[in-house]
Chain A
């Protein structure tokens, strides 16, 4: 159990795998073709463990760990898809759907939405919790983009891509708990902020919360795949 050893061997879903020191459970699982569902995590951005979709079980511990931030150790035994985890993941999705006003049928991301897809993958046919119906606003002050807080899941991908990749840090989170909301600058309208108009936040947004005004109907697929390449090119320089 020497932490200085560079290569760790562990078990994920009864499969023996090896990993480099410091790798996350999620990275190692994906390298070995084991799929763990994620929502806030995105290849190319830092991980925050916010959404809890990637929770996994570790043998010998009664705590569930988010696979996107939990690092591997020698002899670790990970279960990624037990009945208990599936139940929690469904609960999380239902909480997300009940928290804000997600109306798939009228959303620009209908058919391209990560929340909607996760719901379907987890067998969600209805939400057992009462809907909160919060009164949230839509900011269309930007000349190219709109933010609809009704559809936001607070994954903070927009905050991270703007700060870490674009380097502008226009996006941030205001408030605590259920009152949390993403803001531009110091809660100024997006159109009046120091936004560089790069559009990366729109591309990484998993739902229809951030969208391009030129898109109509449900014709708004997003393309976040550029991020790892951007990082690779920067590291190469």
Chain B
């Protein structure tokens, strides 16, 4: 049997979920027996591949670029996993929602800038008015809450998803775990 194609994606999050995946340590070797990582911040692939079996998506949708990415990911993925609280609730990135992007940009790049205050507008994607969880944009198959989900949670979840065993997520993790 060929290995499952696994992608991991980093939208508006802190990369803590990815750190937690790496915290599986030597158990990663067992995971690598059954999956190939075809796209991830930790592998050198620029474009999202065509037929991905499982995608773990960290982070909320906060910019036009995030929105474009999550729609493309959904179109090319069999099983989409919302990984961590940012992807599921908006979490810390969504704390700007009541304030709005303009006030945040002004505070960061104008009020607190000591030299050449200016809001970046070239290359960097435009921020959306509100940060939203990924399931408000695309269908999500599995929700794995936590900030971040622990390495044990990832191990149990990935093992279950790779082998098709039922997964009791609330027994493993919760918001803020």
A contact residues vs B (CB 8 Å cutoff): 97, 101-107, 110-111, 116, 119-121, 123-128, 130-131, 133-136, 218
In the complex, what residues of A have CB within 8 A of residue B169's CB? 125
**In the complex, how many angstroms separate the beta carbon of B127 from the nearest chain A beta carbon?**
14
Q: Pick the contact of A136: B91, B98, B140, B170 (CB < 8 A).
A: B98
Q: Pick the contact of A131: B90, B143, B174 (CB < 8 A).
A: B90
Q: Pick the contact of A104: B97, B98, B143, B147 (CB < 8 A).
A: B147
CB of B136 closer than 8 Å to a CB of A: yes
| One of B44-52, B64-72, B81-89 at the interface | B81-89
B contact residues vs A (CB 8 Å cutoff): 82, 85, 88-92, 94-95, 97-99, 130, 132-133, 135-136, 140, 143-145, 147, 169-170, 174-176
Most chain B beta-carbon neighbours within 10 Å: one of A104, A105, A124, A136: A105
Task: Report how far A133 CA is from B128 CA in the complex, Å.
Answer: 14
Task: Report how far A126 CA is from B57 CA in the complex, Å.
Answer: 15
Q: Tell whether, in the assembled complex, residue A105 and residue B147 are in contact, meaning their CB atoms are under 8 Å apart.
A: yes
In the complex, what residues of A have CB within 8 A of residue B85's CB? 104-105
In the complex, what residues of A have CB within 8 A of residue B140's CB? 126
In the complex, what residues of A have CB within 8 A of residue B91's CB? 103, 105
Instruction: Tell me the number of A-to-B contacts counted with CB atoms below 8 Å.
Output: 73
A–B complex contacts, Cβ < 8 Å, 28 sampled: A97-B89, A101-B94, A101-B97, A101-B98, A103-B89, A103-B94, A104-B176, A105-B85, A105-B147, A106-B92, A106-B95, A111-B176, A116-B174, A116-B175, A116-B176, A124-B170, A125-B144, A125-B169, A126-B82, A126-B89, A127-B89, A128-B135, A130-B132, A131-B89, A131-B94, A133-B94, A135-B98, A135-B99
12 additional A-B residue pairs with CB within 8 Å, beyond A110-B176, A124-B175, A135-B99: A102-B175, A103-B89, A103-B95, A104-B176, A105-B147, A123-B170, A125-B88, A125-B169, A126-B89, A126-B135, A126-B145, A134-B98
Closest to A123 in B: B170
Q: Tell whether, in the assembled complex, residue A103 and residue B174 are in contact, meaning their CB atoms are under 8 Å apart.
A: no
Main SS class of interface, B = mixed
Task: Report how far A130 CA is from B132 CA in the complex, Å.
Answer: 8
Task: Report how far A103 CA is from B135 CA in the complex, Å.
Answer: 17
Q: Tell whether, in the assembled complex, residue A125 and residue B97 are in contact, meaning their CB atoms are under 8 Å apart.
A: no
Q: Tell whether, in the assembled complex, residue B135 and residue A101 are in contact, meaning their CB atoms are under 8 Å apart.
A: no
Task: Report how far A104 CA is from B174 CA in the complex, Å.
Answer: 9
Closest to B95 in A: A103
